[in-house]
Structure 1
Amino acid sequence: MDKTPIAINGTNGHVEQSSVLYRQLRQPPPKVVRSKGHYLYTDDGLEIFDASGGAAVCAIGHGHDRVKKAIAAQLDEIEYVYSLFFTTSAAERLSTLLTESTGGQMSRVFIVSSGTEAVEAALKMARQYFTELPQPQKQRTRFIARKQSYHGNTLGSLAVGSHPARRALYEPMLSANVSHVSPCYPYRESNGEDDETYVARLAQELEDEFQRVGPDTVCAFIAETMSGATLGCVPPVPGYLKAMKAVCERHGALFILDEVMAGMGRTGTLHAWEQEGVVPDLQTIAKGLGAGYTSIGALLVNQRVVAVLNQGTGAFMHSQTYQGNPLACAAAYEVQRTIQDENLLANVREMGKYLGELLKKRLSDHPHIGDIRGRGLFWAMELVKNKETKEPFGAKEQLAWNMHLAGLEHGICMIPGNGTVDGVVGDHIIVAPAYNITAQDIDLIVERTEKALRSRLG
């Protein structure tokens, strides 16, 4: 039995023993005691600008009165029902809002409690779709995903992801029916090609993978519409997603877009795919959906997939206890109405443009900043040991995490990312602030980011 106490500093310097299983058992994180707007306040007096939005979650900042009132009102109506037995007005309102936001192209919504659960549901839905066709294709059991991707931490979602550090311990338990192709990562992998040539090469690689595993065995290709935490905010090259979808359509496979991190307004449109001229067959969303006020995620299902199920068993063979939780739905609905009513998507586009320009102006000449990339309010800086050769820092240096700690010292919270280059080495840091930030807030973000960077890398 482990008898080692874990001590944390409580209020007034009182030392408490924690029962929380921290990510690092012997390294308790700072304790936040209050939040408001864009700021977090710790028990030892720190005021931290939340430029990470948690993990790109807090879309409208902390403590928004409108959302708190909506949660309280829902408590007066109904706090929980089991979705197998009942539906609620809260779930119906949110689902209608989401389907209408796609022009009805995604016609049904399956509401869960996290992005990982949404990805699990997408994989199951893809498999069931092929068993429900008028001429079932039960041999379709495989998925093709991308290297340096992340889709969640359950065994199914971890299998389609490609984050070696998170997969390593569980590799023997992960499904063998997943293979991975190259990411869309022009900074390191375009080989000087123009966009059209690069896209054609990636599409051919996907085609070759279909042929290698057998085109009629593949359920779906799954990709983040815009790469998130593992690769670091890489927007798709123009035409890339269209080309990948075309390969899927040629072989009758489904096209799944994971927008858990990049969706719900983060990149400047409610759905990131709106900027790419494609519509997915299945789409996952989460973080910006509830903006941190609730644990919620969802699977959006294209009308053509729904039609197959309607003509088949008429049921999705998957459910979860907290599916369609009314409190979560009420909070998420109010978050989305707030984004609409306050015209925050326009602000994401305007302030995102300013954020990108200012980061490049202040930091692009730094000898250890290899690339600055992003879209909307979702920007990353890739850190390199040598700017000319793009040589990364060693994994043991834990540079991204140390940059995160340096940020806290300078009053800013950023998202650290590692394994950028090949899943093992490579570092980046992400800023993903709330959609209602101002130009003055961005000035502060860039100023503190620069101070943190220079404190570690000169």
Structure 2
Amino acid sequence: MTKSEPTTRSAVLHRSTQFVPKKAIGGKGSYLFLEDGTKFLDSTGGAAVSCLGHGHEEVNQALIDQINTISYCHTAFFGTEASEELASFLTESTGGKLSKAYIVSSGSEAVEAALKLARHYFLELPTPQPQRTRFIARKPSYHGVTLGALSVGGHMIRREPFEPLLSKNTSHVSPCYPYRGKTPGESDADYVARLAAELDAEFQRVGPENVCAFIAEPVVGAALGAVAAVAGYLPAMKAVCEKYGALLILDEIMSGMGRCGTLHVWEQEDVVPDLQTIGKGLGGGYAPVSGLLIGEKIVEVLDKGTGAFRHGQTYQGHPVSCAAALAVQRIIKRDNLLENIRTMGAYLEERLRSRLGDHPNVGDIRGRGLFWGIEFVKDRDTKEPFSPETGVAFQIQETGLDPAYGISLYAANGTVDCTRGDHALLAPPYNVTKEEIDIIVDTAGRVIDAVFAKVNAA
């Protein structure tokens, strides 16, 4: 969040009690309008959320229509047309491979549901496996802020204050991070084999019969900055899971629902997850909504068992949220926006590499579709990161928020080892234009130049 000068106290517990952020008073397309008159270019869609931009009249009308029909009913008593239509749309988009959808309000909730359903699956088997209580994830990784989701996450900065509260049933292996993970001369195939061997060894260490699932983002968002898995990685990870009877959970909350050029990232990876979390681009920020897509083999086990998933939430399947998501997804499909993502994504990559590829403090530019990350380094040859005290990520984000630039650059630190390393994300809307991409890259380039002029002079 942007920080403003200290003002009168707010009744809101903002992300810092010491500053009150500027107010956004409107939005249209790729722009937000702030109370100080700034026309702010939302080049990250907030946190890769606003996939259709702001103020889309058709989506707004869908929310109004749903509110006028019914705004809420409890799913313990009733279903709604909105939730049924959204679930049908989503499961059909997977070709029926993931045959049921569980709709909740946030990404963290979706991950919580995935973890609990993975455990529940093993309890519902004809011969139950109650000893399966463990999960394997990666470091650094981020899967949400609730205690269960934070427990499987491997981002030490986010975990640290709450470590005594977190479950001890998760262990972490290396990410698929070719910029820093591959050794000199190592092929992608050899790198994948090494990571698969590491995962296999971790199964053996904790006892393969004890593991519920391996969870990973196919394109890592906030934790690493748009790092896509190399070819063959996800199938290799699923093969290890299947070898030991565990499940594969793909967290596509940030990278999925079109962001990377296909509705589901796994469509590009020759792999189908057992469980998939979705969010952000699902409803484009028009209502709080996320979801869990569930593989048919899990559904069959539940159906032959108790049929129950003991994990109900007050706002699950909320009809207004479902209506918003359905409207967003229908527009993406009708307007062929996946093709625009691929075309404009290629143009964004070309412009980023042209503008920043030779910058002495840009170590790597990576991404897929309209999801791109820039990693910053102190030395390009050694890939040495800046010290955390320099605060490069903070400076990048705050400088972008200055009215002189008026652009969002979603920056984060801990890229290298959960403590050191800085990156920034770009995630413009799916209907972004070539002209807007030019503005995004040119403005981001000016921000980066300004920050490192100051950092390198210090």
Q: CA deviation at 1:189?
A: 1.0
Kindly report which structure 2 residues correspond to 1:413-424, keeping only aligned pairs within 5 A, or say none. 413-424=408-419
Query: Could you report, residue by residue, the CA deviation over 1:4-43 in whole angstroms, capped at 9, with x for unpaired residues?
Result: xx9979xxxxx65311111111022221111111101111
Query: Quick check: 1:102 aligned with 2:94?
Result: yes
CA distance in 2, matches of 1:107, 1:456: 48
Amino acid at match of 1:449: A
Query: Could you report, residue by residue, the CA deviation over 1:318-339 in whole angstroms, capped at 9, with x for unpaired residues?
Result: 0110000000000110000111
**1:140, 1:218 within 8 Å by CA — same for their partners in 2?**
yes
Secondary structure of the equivalent of 1:135? coil
CA distance in 2, matches of 1:26, 1:59: 31
Query: Quick check: 1:306 aligned with 2:299?
Result: yes
What RMSD in Å do the two structures reach over aligned CA positions? 1.2
Kindly report which structure 2 residues correspond to 1:191-340, keeping only aligned pairs within 5 A, or say none. 191-192=183-184, 193-340=186-333
**2:4, 2:22 within 8 Å by CA — same for their partners in 1?**
no
**1:348, 1:376 within 8 Å by CA — same for their partners in 2?**
yes
Amino acid at match of 1:448: T
Q: CA deviation at 1:194?
A: 0.5
Query: Could you report, residue by residue, the CA deviation over 1:265-310 in whole angstroms, capped at 9, with x for unpaired residues?
Result: 0000000100001000000000000100000010000001000000
Aligned to 1:139: 131
CA distance in 2, matches of 1:399, 1:129: 44
**1:7, 1:16 within 8 Å by CA — same for their partners in 2?**
no
Query: Quick check: 1:455 aligned with 2:450?
Result: yes
Aligned to 1:3: none
Amino acid at match of 2:195: L
* Aligned pair partner of 2:33 in 15, 26, 41: 41
Amino acid at match of 1:454: D
Unaligned 5+ segments in structure 2 are 454-458
* Number of residue pairs aligned between Structure 1 and Structure 2: 448
Query: Quick check: 1:346 aligned with 2:353?
Result: no
CA distance in 2, matches of 1:197, 1:26: 49
CA distance in 2, matches of 1:180, 1:29: 36
**2:31, 2:40 within 8 Å by CA — same for their partners in 1?**
yes
**1:382, 1:428 within 8 Å by CA — same for their partners in 2?**
yes
Aligned to 1:85: 77
TM-score (norm 2): 0.97
Aligned to 1:12: none
* Aligned pair partner of 1:122 in 88, 104, 114: 114
CA distance in 1, matches of 2:265, 2:4: 43
CA distance in 2, matches of 1:175, 1:127: 14
Aligned to 1:54: 46
Query: Quick check: 1:159 aligned with 2:151?
Result: yes
Aligned to 1:445: 440
* Aligned pair partner of 1:408 in 380, 401, 411: 401
Query: Could you report, residue by residue, the CA deviation over 1:222-263 in whole angstroms, capped at 9, with x for unpaired residues?
Result: 000110111110111000000000000000000000000000
Amino acid at match of 1:120: E
Query: Could you report, residue by residue, the CA deviation over 1:99-129 in whole angstroms, capped at 9, with x for unpaired residues?
Result: 0000000000000001100000000000000
Query: Quick check: 1:431 aligned with 2:426?
Result: yes
Q: CA deviation at 1:411?
A: 1.6
Query: Could you report, residue by residue, the CA deviation over 1:394-422 in whole angstroms, capped at 9, with x for unpaired residues?
Result: 11222111101111221211101110000
CA distance in 1, matches of 2:451, 2:425: 16
Identity of aligned residues (%): 57
Secondary structure of the equivalent of 1:422? coil
**Range with bigger deviation, 410-419 or 264-273:** 410-419
Amino acid at match of 1:424: T
**1:60, 1:436 within 8 Å by CA — same for their partners in 2?**
yes
Distance 1:357 1:7, change over 3 A: closer
CA distance in 1, matches of 2:226, 2:265: 12
Aligned to 1:184: 176
Amino acid at match of 1:443: D
CA distance in 1, matches of 2:173, 2:155: 13
CA distance in 2, matches of 1:35, 1:131: 48
Q: CA deviation at 1:45?
A: 1.1
**1:8, 1:17 within 8 Å by CA — same for their partners in 2?**
no
CA distance in 2, matches of 1:418, 1:7: 21
CA distance in 1, matches of 2:104, 2:389: 37
Query: Quick check: 1:172 aligned with 2:152?
Result: no
**1:415, 1:429 within 8 Å by CA — same for their partners in 2?**
yes
Secondary structure of the equivalent of 1:382? strand
TM-score (norm 1): 0.97
CA distance in 2, matches of 1:156, 1:300: 18
Secondary structure of the equivalent of 1:412? coil
Secondary structure of the equivalent of 2:92? helix
**1:259, 1:285 within 8 Å by CA — same for their partners in 2?**
yes
Q: CA deviation at 1:357?
A: 1.1
Amino acid at match of 1:163: H
Distance 1:18 1:8, change over 3 A: farther
Query: Quick check: 1:369 aligned with 2:378?
Result: no
